[in-house]
Structure 1
Amino acid sequence: MPPTKRQLFETYANASSASPPRSVSKRVKTTEKENDDESDGAQPAGATRTRPQKKTAELSEAAENENDDAGAAQAPEKISEQSEVTVQEDEADADADTSVSATTDDELTAREQHEAENAAQAKIVNDKMASPEGLEYRCMPRPWQDLRREWRDAAYNNATSESFDGESVEVGGAKEMERAQEESKRFLEKTPAEAPSWRWTVTNMANYLVNTYKDDAECRNPDNFGMYIYNDFAGYGLQEVIENQLVMFHEEFNKEDCDPHRLFVYMEAMAIWLFTSDMSHWTGLNDGARVSATMDIIGRCLLTSLNALERADLLEPGSKVKNIPMVLSMFLDFADDGEGTTAMHFDMDGNENPQTWPYFVVAYVNAHGIDIEGKGLYGIDSIADGYDDEEMAIFEEHEPGPDRWGFSAAFEAFATHWEVHAGQSNKYDIIAMEPEERMEYAFDHQDPLDTMDPDYLIH
């Protein structure tokens, strides 16, 4: 399914399911004959992919903790179809001109037809994301992960000493899920101006990027293809996805006409992706030094984007950047989750101390009166309080220049040491592998792509 038509992500996933996550297709065009033929094809072992509906696309969150989420079993609610409608007419016109002759060329395989059609549609999407339309905001569902936290908190508070064992507390039943879905539905057709009380908003560009990052992560997970390569392959695949995001941020930052708002959108997309994804494969990677160095660059990217917004007077109340509290709270939550891992083990100067960039994020919050408690994640105030004020003296010492946080030098050192190259890397992209290599690692020693619906061949 083309990225313009995809939904943001599944907000109310069946968290108790043990099935691996499904990938979203970027393609929708298949002939009737192809659909009939493909419906009979067997899925590879480990792949749990089902054909999407024509106007919606499913993307399951990674399997959640079964004990925590035993009560959540209702089907996911997805973001409004408004996002796809806004581009369908343009795409229909553009398809007539740019859709290649692959659909009538008998010499091309079904996959090659999808490849060619997707390339034409990708150009349309990229043009829209680069236009002012990409920076427009719309409402999105409240993330399931945030709802779960509130429900868990309520469950713990309501548990009696006789029934509470410290581990298994029912989180979110059918009634709670139904209420949450109905709440989101009331806002999904609205813009932030039409729903000022709804804190969950996203730019069109970030919406597209989040879907792209999720696709990129899925096609680097061998479990989705009935394959085993080695234990940390999926973790290094996530590392590659993150590094590709950092490269894009670096390229945007170095543009002569760098737009502070668009620079922040890359952090907006990263925040939503990190918050709504299972990153345990990455934080548990066997190369702790690389994870820690990457977390440092992520922090510098965030601070650099905040510095750019500050210099453009876009951190004040009423800014055209609508979701700063949400984005910052997601990063603070991610940093807090990483405190017990090697991800936050070394600070920004390479010393064996906890990384300090979350303190500077809170310093920005305090300096500009950003309502992170009222417009951020549930319970984020308790996390933010843990990073409050301790680094204010150092914060004030940093000169407010274009590269206040030394991002350029730090990124160049990072890229050199870890061999991160310009452009998008696909070393861990299973779909980009040679067929023989996939066959070598497949459980049945067959190429999983041969039996998969071409709609799910992401590239």
Structure 2
Amino acid sequence: MQRLNTYQDMLNLRNPDAFDMNTFNDHAGYGAIEVAQNMLLDYHEAAGNWKEQWAICEALALLFNTDSLDPMMGMLVELEKQGQLAHVRNLGWVMGMVAREADAMRSDGFIDVPEGKKKKKKKKKAYAGEHFVPYLLAYGGKHNITMYGPSNIADIISAAEEEAEEQNVELPAAAQDPWGWTTGFKAYERKNKTTAYGAGSRGKASIGGDSLDITTYSPAERKAKSFNKKDPLTKAMIKALKDGMCLSIG
């Protein structure tokens, strides 16, 4: 749970309400994106260390909605390669939580819904979340893993089983990166690395980072945005941060 607590602290430090400040609209929302990007960076940099990668996947499932960039599929491939699928005790629960969010994203139109029966194989394209839950079910069936957790998991599984049959959903052949995580991640970095927040006042040269972490603001910046025009951080807090300590609030 250490990873989860760390990321939760990172979210709190990007929430102006926690500091009685008003910076700009959606600061906390953009801050959550920044934290999610840091998590994806952590996952990418932890390649080869399945325990670290799994801890990050757990935190993603607990803190955020999933999307096509979610590393869950790649994580399952890595666990399969390492022979660890049977040793991750909460795997079925995390898969269930991710399945719920994927189902919700499809309902909201963020993931395309396949129409009609799949007649023939088309030219391979980048994976973008289609058949996400059926693929999870396929991994579960292959390794005797039962998804559980959400109250509506039975309905989600039933719909996924029907989709798998209608669309002839099968797991991809074994490969180094069958879900295209590396390629997809690089494309995501290129697309989002220059996004600026707060009317461009705190620009970014890469994804993630700490530009929206309020503890990285100068005292003058915090005072200017504070409701009482005082720095919400005490001298003791500032000293602790300079000494390399982490601030935990909430």
1:330 matched residue in structure 2 = 97
Give the secondary structure class of the aligned counterpart of 2:40. Answer: helix
1:366 matched residue in structure 2 = 141
**TM-aligned CA deviation for residue 265 of structure 1:** 2.5
Evaluate the alpha carbon distance shift between residue 235 and residue 345 of structure 1 in structure 2; reply closer, same or farther with a 3 A threshold: farther
Evaluate the alpha carbon distance shift between residue 244 and residue 346 of structure 1 in structure 2; reply closer, same or farther with a 3 A threshold: farther
Matches within 5 A, 1:136-175: none
1:241 matched residue in structure 2 = 35
Q: Normalization by structure 2: what TM-score?
A: 0.76
1:393 matched residue in structure 2 = 168
Evaluate the alpha carbon distance shift between residue 446 and residue 405 of structure 1 in structure 2; reply closer, same or farther with a 3 A threshold: same
Q: Distance in 2 between matches of 1:346 and 1:232?
A: 30
Evaluate the alpha carbon distance shift between residue 235 and residue 426 of structure 1 in structure 2; reply closer, same or farther with a 3 A threshold: same
**TM-aligned CA deviation for residue 431 of structure 1:** 0.9
Match of 2:155 among 370, 373, 382: 382
Matches within 5 A, 1:236-315: 236-253=30-47, 258-274=48-64, 295-298=67-70, 301-315=71-85
Of structures 1 and 2, the one scoring higher in RCO (CA 8 A, sep 6+) is 2
**TM-aligned CA deviation for residue 434 of structure 1:** 1.1
Evaluate the alpha carbon distance shift between residue 314 and residue 354 of structure 1 in structure 2; reply closer, same or farther with a 3 A threshold: closer
Give the secondary structure class of the aligned counterpart of 2:154. Answer: helix
The answer to whether the 8 A contact 1:247-1:422 is kept is no
**TM-aligned CA deviation for residue 449 of structure 1:** 1.1
2:213 matched residue in structure 1 = 429
Match of 1:320 among 87, 99, 112: 87
Q: Which of these two proteins has the greater Rg computed from alpha carbons?
A: 1
Share of identical aligned residues, percent? Answer: 26
- The residue type equivalent to 1:260 in the other structure is W
Evaluate the alpha carbon distance shift between residue 410 and residue 354 of structure 1 in structure 2; reply closer, same or farther with a 3 A threshold: closer
Q: Distance in 2 between matches of 1:332 and 1:231?
A: 31
Give deviations 1:240-272, integer Å, cap 9, x for gaps: 00000000111112xxxx133443232122223
Evaluate the alpha carbon distance shift between residue 354 and residue 246 of structure 1 in structure 2; reply closer, same or farther with a 3 A threshold: closer
Evaluate the alpha carbon distance shift between residue 339 and residue 377 of structure 1 in structure 2; reply closer, same or farther with a 3 A threshold: same
Match of 2:233 among 428, 449, 455: 449
Q: Distance in 1 between matches of 2:96 and 2:12?
A: 25
Evaluate the alpha carbon distance shift between residue 303 and residue 213 of structure 1 in structure 2; reply closer, same or farther with a 3 A threshold: same
**TM-aligned CA deviation for residue 228 of structure 1:** 1.3
The answer to whether the 8 A contact 1:426-1:432 is kept is yes
The answer to whether the 8 A contact 2:67-2:129 is kept is no
Q: Distance in 2 between matches of 1:354 and 1:400?
A: 19
Structure 1 gaps of 5+ residues are 1-206, 280-293
Q: Distance in 1 between matches of 2:126 and 2:178?
A: 18
Give the secondary structure class of the aligned counterpart of 1:448. Answer: coil
Q: Normalization by structure 1: what TM-score?
A: 0.43
2:247 matched residue in structure 1 = 458
Give deviations 1:360-399, integer Å, cap 9, x for gaps: 22221233221224xx344422222222252473433x22
Task: Tell me the C-alpha RMSD between the 2 structures.
Answer: 3.2
Q: Distance in 2 between matches of 1:342 and 1:269?
A: 24
Matches within 5 A, 1:178-197: none
Evaluate the alpha carbon distance shift between residue 356 and residue 231 of structure 1 in structure 2; reply closer, same or farther with a 3 A threshold: farther
Q: Distance in 2 between matches of 1:434 and 1:355?
A: 44
- The residue type equivalent to 1:264 in the other structure is W
Q: Distance in 1 between matches of 2:227 and 2:215?
A: 16
Q: Distance in 2 between matches of 1:453 and 1:222?
A: 17
Q: Distance in 2 between matches of 1:410 and 1:435?
A: 39
- The residue type equivalent to 1:330 in the other structure is M
Give the secondary structure class of the aligned counterpart of 2:214. Answer: coil
The answer to whether the 8 A contact 1:261-1:309 is kept is no
